[in-house]
Amino acid sequence: MRILMTNIRLTWYSGSDTYLYTLGKELIKRGHEVSVYAPSISPTLQGKRFIEAGFTLFSELESKFDLLEINTEFDVIHGQHNFALSEAKRIFPEVPAIFVSHGVLPEPEKYPRDVNIEKYIGVSEEVLAYQFKDITEDKKEIVRNPIDTERFYYAPKKPEKKLKILVSSNYYHNEWEAKEVWEAAKILDAEVEVIGTNGKMLFKTEDLIKNCDIGIGLGRSILEMMSMGKPVIVGDYNGYDGVMTPGSYQMIKLSNFSGRAYKEAWNGNKLASEIRKIFEGDYIKMGQDNRETILFNHNIKKVADRFEEIYKEITNPKV
């Protein structure tokens, strides 16, 4: 199948483009032809990674004729970000499309109302209820964030002399100073490393996750750390949802691991206390549970299976 994906940008390593990379790469492995339209593409960061993985990239879609000149046509549009999907549908009005929304706050996550959309996908219950409240039940569903469980392999680890805390956040030094994290690190005599826009910016985050003992963050970053068998705490600028367990997952997943499930305000003492409890208990079992949660709920192979089914449903609708 020839699939056109849309995204606002392929520049630095943000959640929506990492989502497309993970899903698209799996679809390419299965024999699909996957292209991405993004108005802004970095040839040295995300753009380079997508090209290396076998994607075809477009930063402009000026006319259908121009694309046909290079023998490019599509069977389905996998849309993310409203104006990017609107532009793709303007050029390819007859190609059936889905729209995937990742959040409740950013404006681009609202579905475009100027084009026909066959299926509406939310990554969580919160997103589905907020963004698609006026869409009939038969046209919307939840498909959770996919994680490449081979790339983010199981890598349990016993702490060395100093506990290593990995913070994954694009909000650090923006909306969030992480004061409580540094206070907890001082109390525990632990080391802290930060991934994100004001921390380390790199593609192979699995290398940093492998070497950490515990992770703190939101969204995809939490899922990637769970996949590698790490204990994790969901928290950032929104507040804290707490330590991930099979039980707490059921509540925290509803708002896509955003810190909005409980929105607790933690100080350094509270965070240090929770970390101590983890490592005084069976933290290896906690990591194993996290890995199993990802394999069951977020495995890219299961997610790709479902999207293949959706693509077939909308390209071959029942009469």
Q: Which pLDDT value is given to residue 186?
A: 97
* Distance between CA atoms of residues 58 and 215, nearest Å: 35
Q: Which pLDDT value is given to residue 319?
A: 45
pLDDT band at 305 (very low <50, low <70, confident <90, very high): very high
> Averaged over 104-122, what is the pLDDT?
95
pLDDT band at 290 (very low <50, low <70, confident <90, very high): very high
Please choose, from the candidates 216, 239, 240, 238, the residue with its C-alpha nearest in 3D space to the C-alpha of residue 226: 216
Q: Which CATH architecture does the domain made up of 2-146+299-315 adopt?
A: 3-Layer(aba) Sandwich (3.40)
Please choose, from the candidates 14, 13, 65, 60, the residue with its C-alpha nearest in 3D space to the C-alpha of residue 39: 60
> Averaged over 120-146, what is the pLDDT?
97
Weakest mean pLDDT among 148-162, 173-187, 277-291 = 173-187
* Distance between CA atoms of residues 197 and 173, nearest Å: 9
* Distance between CA atoms of residues 251 and 142, nearest Å: 15
CA 211 to chain centre: 21
**Same topology for domains 2-146+299-315 and 164-297, yes or no?**
yes
CATH class of 164-297: alpha beta
**Domain segments of the chain: what residues?**
2-146+299-315, 164-297
pLDDT band at 244 (very low <50, low <70, confident <90, very high): very high
* Distance between CA atoms of residues 165 and 314, nearest Å: 45
Q: 31: buried, middle or exposed (CB in 10 Å: 19+, 13-18, 0-12)?
A: exposed
Weakest mean pLDDT among 122-126, 138-142, 258-262 = 258-262
Beta bridge partner(s), residue 57: 36
> Averaged over 113-131, what is the pLDDT?
97
Q: For residue range 33-89, what is the model confidence (pLDDT) as tens digits? A: 999 999 998 887 788 899 999 999 998 876 555 555 554 589 999 999 999 999 999
Q: Which pLDDT value is given to residue 44?
A: 76
Q: Which pLDDT value is given to residue 66?
A: 57
The contacts of residue 219 (CB under 8 Å, 6+ apart) are 15, 145, 256, 257, 258
